[in-house]
Structure 1
């Protein structure tokens, strides 16, 4: 279904819609690779003509069907990298403009982190500071294991290509980040799974190295790169664009049908300590009782969602920083180290120290096998010890 123009205001769909322009570009890319793009639309309630309006929207479920079909047609030809090259900054609307005009790369990255779901509702992004690097992690909220590698590879390549285009080249070189054998020094993309055969065809065209068979899907940036100005930096224009994105996000969150997913994604974007149930309910303009009831309808509760987010952050901090276990527990909001230790052993089957020394995640990690734990869906985490502030 396509919802163009003012008609879309009649639908209370939250973050379940995707800009139609992305599907239009996907179809065009499939056609450029020599395939019949009309087959992507079979059985759907819209066609190419419906996607011509710049403000058209499609259901995420329909977008997933189109993406799966495109992947079957052209996935082994490097569709992800071809598509990333076509997704230029202007296609992303106000989000692209907010990033383009940010005073620094840090501001651009923060805009993408906070508002990515407005353009890609199936993905959310968080970052962790690890010594002298920033680790940007991508997660998906839909159980589409066949699509996950394609989605993450496409979004990662898109972000990297935009980074190269939007940074002030002169300032980049002054800070020691000049190209090294055609690659931006200190920056890399880490992805799970085996290296695809088509990667070598595109490797020389990419400004950074893509590393496969990694435990997490991450974009790695040196901290010093965060201070580099954007090529078209304009603080006032960037603020106006962010305010428009914020209005769009808050409206979408209030209208979100799956409130459990919305709460989880909101928590991912927040620094610690995480807010109480009452504070979160206020953000969504509902009472705490209503929030509890709507989460119960999804067979979860606020405490479980908070614990899931904390577990994910704990693993990132243990894996990629040199912080002590005590420091990590405190950063996550645990007043008592023993409470954190018991919770972490339940999540992973190991103590925090054993996990840090052992490398790859254990199979028992909250219901995920090592091959699928990146598909960051809620896992019914059970709380072992009281965590301050959450119900």
Structure 2
């Protein structure tokens, strides 16, 4: 039964995955920071668990990473690094499930949160259950990388969840075995069979009842609720304005020029403006929304002075930043920081900057 959402819209990829990939590139001698900057991605912003990167930028970064590293097996390498907590609320929901079947059901239902271009369908086949992975739409060069990371990640995570290798499990892959796979075969804990009709994880029926060693019913319920809320929000945030905002959020240098964002999204500047106008949004308003959020984070979470914060946010000096912050919140940055640092005091401010 098909239970995960199929969505060909650009819902973005969690930035943390690209951060982990960048760290991997560093271990094999590639200048990962230079590569990120050339793609127009901010290395610091990628470390946030709440930020998503547009499909276009993720695709370009992964494609360049594979070409420049000369390592087509990066998807498998990434799979080995993706510990469950890195998957956010979904990772927690999977870890706190009662059985392996419950964990796989969670992954199937909420996969869109972590890999929007993938969907999972499950079916019984003899004495085993097949969890088949499909790519929705056309993810381009990302497809092989994503499927590698997904299927081999499941193999590694199964062992993490149960504390042992899942007996009788296997991975099915379409097409001939790639030459690079022989270098990774010994590290894969279950058999991998190429030349199959599907990309799938195969689990014997008898193993689906295997208990999860981190099981916690209360945590499972709360994290499932978080996944439901996140999935609803992600679906609601599927408009063009959200796609533009994702590019703005992760861009380096910041703020990005309208022309660069338009090029990233493969539209003309005129089309970008028109489509935003259709959603009652503007490019400058989206830039300032991101600026305000970053300003609050930097004022409350760092000891950076106003000149440093102004520079990070793309202002010529602290005076320009202070004027903008006052316009958005009705208060100076210094007063905001002071109010937030003093316990028991509530600072009232507007939610987002407003522009025509």
For normalisation by structure 1, the TM-score amounts to 0.56
Mapped pair 1:133 → 2:128? yes
Mapped pair 1:214 → 2:178? no
Mapping of residues 311-326 of structure 1, within 5 Å: none
| Distance in 2 of aligned mates of 1:130 and 1:198 | 30
Deviates more, 1:91-100 or 1:206-215: 206-215
Distance 1:144 1:94, change over 3 A: closer
The CA deviation at 1:107 is: 0.9
Mapped pair 1:54 → 2:40? no
Counterpart of 2:238 in structure 1 is: 256
| Distance in 1 of aligned mates of 2:191 and 2:114 | 25
Counterpart of 2:294 in structure 1 is: none
1:60, 1:121 within 8 Å by CA — same for their partners in 2? no
The CA deviation at 1:42 is: 4.4
2:171, 2:190 within 8 Å by CA — same for their partners in 1? yes
Counterpart of 2:21 in structure 1 is: 26
Distance 1:231 1:75, change over 3 A: farther
Mapping of residues 242-281 of structure 1, within 5 Å: 242-257=224-239
Counterpart of 1:306 in structure 2 is: none
| Distance in 2 of aligned mates of 1:15 and 1:134 | 30
| Distance in 1 of aligned mates of 2:167 and 2:96 | 23
Q: Show structure 1 runs of 5+ residues with no match.
A: 1-13, 170-178, 259-391
The CA deviation at 1:40 is: 3.0
Mapping of residues 151-230 of structure 1, within 5 Å: 151-169=146-164, 184-230=166-212
User: What SS class does the counterpart of residue 64 from structure 1 fall into?
Assistant: helix
The CA deviation at 1:145 is: 4.4
Structure 1 residues 340-386: Cα deviation after superposition (integer angstroms, max 9, x where no partner): xxxxxxxxxxxxxxxxxxxxxxxxxxxxxxxxxxxxxxxxxxxxxxx
The CA deviation at 1:15 is: 5.9
2:170, 2:202 within 8 Å by CA — same for their partners in 1? yes
Specify the structure having the higher radius of gyration (Cα). 2
1:125, 1:136 within 8 Å by CA — same for their partners in 2? yes
Q: Show structure 2 runs of 5+ residues with no match.
A: 1-8, 241-356
| Distance in 2 of aligned mates of 1:104 and 1:34 | 40
Matching residue within 208, 229, 238 for 2:220: 238
Deviates more, 1:109-118 or 1:249-258: 249-258
Counterpart of 2:36 in structure 1 is: 41
| Distance in 1 of aligned mates of 2:135 and 2:239 | 17
Instruction: Count how many residue pairs are aligned between Structure 1 and Structure 2.
Output: 233
1:95, 1:242 within 8 Å by CA — same for their partners in 2? yes
1:18, 1:59 within 8 Å by CA — same for their partners in 2? yes
The CA deviation at 1:18 is: 1.9
The CA deviation at 1:88 is: 0.8
